[in-house]
Amino acid sequence: MTKVAPSMLSADFSRLGEELTRIEKAGADWAHLDVMDGMFVPNITIGPSVIKAIRPLSKMPFDVHLMIEDPVRYVHNFADAGADMMTVHTEANGDIMAAVDKIGDLGCKAGITLNPPTPVTDFDKYLDKVDLVLIMTVQAGFGGQSFREECIEKIKYVRKWADEHNPKLEISVDGGINRETGKRCVDAGATVLAAGSSLFRSNDMASEIALWKKYGPTL
């Protein structure tokens, strides 16, 4: 079964706690939390204090996508706040391998991600150290952008590596994911669909999530 991780970036921030409960009731597997620092990306979103505040409201794993420079500086704060997994960008400043190692040392699952223009081979040195690979299917920074078709090849590349070396590796996609693009990503080998706009705008989030979860070899 495919996992669905609604991105809270598209939630109503004035009611973040209720929105978290809403996605959990709708059947979400993980809550995808987008952290932006105004440096690695132009946008600024939430930090550890907000994540800590909503942590007690849900049992879902918190999938924290760190769009920040030099992430090793902050991973302990996000672990303290209740992150279950943290994903860092290969393109960010600082020692990204050290950040990946520290995330694991803190008892969290480690993820690695890269933006559409970055070659997929930049994943290579991290693949045997991470639990999650997040394939950005838009440029990180904003919700509501269109899916970048060329990223499908990256999913196939990571799927092939995972089949040969670590079948349990989670392969997530993020950006412009909807009913159609999500299906194509799963066909290419993705195991997790992170999506903001399409889920939060749907009339019936629960049925949308239920449909996506059925994506896989049989559908």
User: Where does this chain bind Zn ion (CB under 5 A)?
Assistant: 34, 65, 174
The reply to whether 37 sits near ligand DX5 by the rule CB under 6 A is no
Structure tokens at 79: 């672990």
Q: Work out which of 9, 20, 88, 92 binds ligand DX5, going by CB under 6 A.
A: 9
Angle, vertex CA 143, rays to CA 142 and CA 144, nearest 5: 125
The reply to whether 138 sits near ligand DX5 by the rule CB under 6 A is yes
Residue 8 CB neighbours (<10 A) = 26
The reply to whether 7 sits near ligand DX5 by the rule CB under 6 A is yes
Q: Is 174 a catalytic residue?
A: yes
Binding marks (x or -) toward ligand DX5, 139..178, rule CB under 6 A? -xxxxxx----------------------------xxxx-
Give the span between the Cα atoms of 17 and 90, in whole angstroms: 31
Q: Is 34 a catalytic residue?
A: yes
Residue 97 CB neighbours (<10 A) = 15
Of 50 and 101, the one with the shorter C-beta distance to ligand DX5 is 50
| Residue 189 partner contact from Zn ion, ligand DX5, none using kind-dependent CB cut-offs of 5 to 8 Å | none
> Catalytic: which of 29, 63, 131, 174?
174
b/e sequence 129-146, b meaning 16+ C-beta within 10 Å: ebbbbbbbbbebbebeee
From the list 19-27, 91-99, 115-123, 133-141, the region that binds ligand DX5 by CB under 6 A is: 133-141
Give the span between the Cα atoms of 70 and 209, in whole angstroms: 34
Annotated catalytic residues are 34, 174
